[in-house]
Structure 1
Amino acid sequence: MKRTLAATAALVVLAAGATACGAGSTVDTGAALLSALTKASDQTQKAGSAEVAMSTDLGQGDPIAMEGTFAWGKGGGMAYDVRMDAAAAGMSALVEGDKVRALLVDGAYYYNVQPQAAGPLANKHWAKVEVSAVLGEEAAEQVAVSGDPTSGLRGIKDAKDVEKVGEETVLGKKTTHYRTTFPADSLGGAGEGLANAIGKDFDKVTMEIWLDGQNMPVRIKQDMGAMKMSMDFKKFGAAKKITAPPAKDTADLSKIIEEQMQGS
């Protein structure tokens, strides 16, 4: 179980969309393109939540599929309540069925597991892992302050050499497809934390975004070398508040995961 929870938890950096991307770069795009990306960024920020279907390939086996609700508040940060493939996440031994429910709340991941007979998960239905235990303090702070599943839009509108690929139909909607590539070091601590979490370095990030006629994202893809993510936005709008499970029914595995990460 060396990277079971750690690798799964690292999904948040991909989902958060590289908030630092293109920082300090010069916009090298037309006014119309910049306007569309700016509107998309503003509108998704205001939406506050979305129903999302996501697939992430960490380069360590089968892609991990997850589906559910992502939410982000006015002050930034992100929460989610999703169900993901247990086998691909390496968690089949801890759950019944083929899915595991996962939460991200207040800077910590929670995984709904079957209570174990002994060990840290004895008589507990939830395993907790602090984001900082997986990605480090700097990346955890970045997620807490500005992470949300569409924050990549805030970066891509400031990136240089943004390319308008063309018009395409995605999920039954007419969309405009954009692409940009930027250095991995522009991700700051988030990029370093992700590379450490999955044990693979990368030197650049390619981001692709498909916007519909209302300048709302329909699909976002990121390619970080061996790591690849695709996120489809099924619906934007209000979502129920996502809260942490009861503390008395939760085992905190943060120290265990942190030690695994340091020893890897």
Structure 2
Amino acid sequence: MKSKHTAAWVGFTAAAAIAVSGCGTDGARTAAKAVDHADRIMAVLSRATDRTEQLGSAEVKVSTDLGTGTPIAMDGTYSWGDGLAFDAEMDTRAAQMQQLQDSPTTRVLFVDGAYYYDVDPQPAGPLQGKEWMKIDSSAIFGDKGSQAFSGSSSGGGNPADSMRALKYANDVDDLGKETVDGQRTTHYRAVVDKAHMGKFKEAYDGDNAMSAVTGGADSMTMDIWVGGNDLPVRLQQRIGAVKVTMDFQKFGATAPVKAPPAAQTGDLTDEIKKSREQSPEQQG
């Protein structure tokens, strides 16, 4: 395993995190200015947020565009009742995983604050004879940022947190009725500034890969399409040049996500950290 190959892995791992990162609201206690139409919007979004949080999991399709013109597609299940976890398949070539996986898709798990990638066993190095590659989220966000992805549902890192953050948006607007995935929805848009991202500003700011991917953006634009059952049909986040679109296929009743056996796993966390420390981009 050569560290010169780790830059791409850092990028797509951060991209996977953006797809479900949301933004916690710890420390944000002042709501946006109240006007009649905004109050009506917030009532709708509040109901959708509560329902999403209560159901705790969903089957989701995610597209993450890092601004390179080749979005990374992920399709799987996400849960947030006991901290963020997901089990998904992503496009191998778009994620630049061809060196480690011959299959056109790669399975990726996130559980207990770490990413696990299903790879082909390698002839040498940390992945010699291993079926899974592990990267702890601290290698991507640093110790402070990674804390937002672990713990209980109140710790953040789930669609309900993303929606809850809309309460603290600078601007909220109703863009009207639209049909999404065959469902009639109402399209809402909001802009959330960095000051109201709560603990997740640790993940979006500072010396970490997320900051490099988002360009240190000062705000996040969120679009949400809410269906007639008061549940989100689509959630889209734009941070700098990055755009993540999450389509909800079905809520609730997903299988628990479990980490692979340790004996089948090669841990690249330290190598990723060392590679980023040596990278000229990180030093500049």
TM range (shorter): over 0.9
Q: Does 1:16 align with 2:24?
A: no
Alignment partner, residue 106 of structure 1: 112
Which residue in 2 is equivalent to 1:133? 139
Task: Find the aligned partners of 2:227 and 2:138 in 1 and give their Cα distance.
Answer: 35
- TM-score, with structure 1 as normaliser: 0.93
Q: 245, 248, 252: which one pairs with 2:267? A: 252
Deviation of residue 34 (structure 1)?
Answer: 1.6
Out of 2, 8, 12, the residue aligned to residue 6 of structure 2 is 2
Are 2:202 and 1:189 equivalent residues in the alignment? yes
Query: Is 2:46 aligned against 1:32?
Result: no
Q: 1:261 to 1:61 in 2, by over 3 A?
A: farther
Query: Structure 2: how far apart are the matches of 1:205 and 1:172?
Result: 27
Following TM superposition, by how much is the alpha carbon of 1:260 offset from its aligned partner in structure 2, in angstroms? 2.0
State whether residues 70 and 149 of structure 1, in contact with CA within 8 Å, keep that contact through their aligned partners in structure 2.
no
Distance 1:261 1:122 in 2: 22
Structure 2: which amino acid aligns with 1:147?
A: G
Moved over 6 A (4+): none
Q: Please, which runs of 5 or more residues in structure 2 have no aligned partner?
A: 280-284
Pick from 79, 83, 86 the counterpart of residue 89 of structure 2.
83
Task: Describe the shift of the 1:3–1:185 C-alpha distance in structure 2 as closer, same or farther (beyond 3 A).
Answer: farther
Q: CA deviation at 1:138?
A: 1.6
Please give the alpha-carbon distance, in whole angstroms, between the structure 1 residues aligned to 2:237 and 2:59: 19
- What do residues 175-197 of structure 1 show as CA deviations (whole Å, max 9, x unaligned)? 11111112235432021145435
* SS, match of residue 23 in structure 1: coil
Deviation at 1:27, TM superposition (A): 2.9
Q: Deviations over 1:12-34 (max 9, x none)?
A: 13422222499334233533222
Shift of 1:252: 0.5
> Which of 209, 219, 222 matches 2:234?
219
* Partner of residue 153, structure 1: 163
Please give the residue correspondences for 1:43-82 in structure 2 after superposition, counting only pairs within 5 Å. Answer: 43-60=51-68, 62-73=70-81, 75=82, 77-82=83-88
CA distance, structure 1, for counterparts of residue 267 and residue 117 of structure 2: 11
Instruction: Please give the alpha-carbon distance, in whole angstroms, between the structure 1 residues aligned to 2:260 and 2:110.
Output: 11
| Partner Cα distance (2:94, 2:65) in 1 | 10
Distance in 2 separating the partners of 1:257 and 1:198: 16
Alpha-carbon distance in 1 for matches of 2:242, 2:256? 30
> 1:68 touches 1:81 (CA, 8 Å); kept in 2?
yes
Q: Is residue 175–residue 211 contact of structure 1 (8 Å, CA) maintained in 2?
A: yes
Residue 183 of structure 2 is aligned with which of 150, 166, 173?
Answer: 173
The structural deviation recorded for 1:53 is 0.5
> Match for residue 282 of structure 2?
none
Structure 1 segments unaligned to the other structure (5+ residues):
none
- Please list the CA deviations of residues 100-158 of structure 1 after superposition, one character each: whole Å capped at 9, or x if unmatched: 00000100000000001111110000000000111111221112122113321111033
Contact 2:225 2:234 in 1 (8 A): yes
- Aligned to 2:78, the other structure's residue is in SS state strand
- In 2, are the aligned partners of 1:219 and 1:232 still within 8 Å (CA)? yes
Contact 1:53/1:231 (8 A) holds in 2: yes
More helix by share: 2
How many residues are paired up?
A: 262
Q: TM-score, normalised by structure 2?
A: 0.86
Instruction: Write the letter of the residue equivalent to 2:239.
Output: M
Report the counterpart of residue 229 of structure 1 in structure 2. 244
CA distance in 1, matches of 2:231, 2:163: 10
Whole-angstrom distance in 2 between the partners of 1:19 and 1:58 = 22
Q: Counterpart in 2 of 1:95?
A: 101
CA gap 1:98/1:22 in 2 versus in 1, 3 angstroms? farther
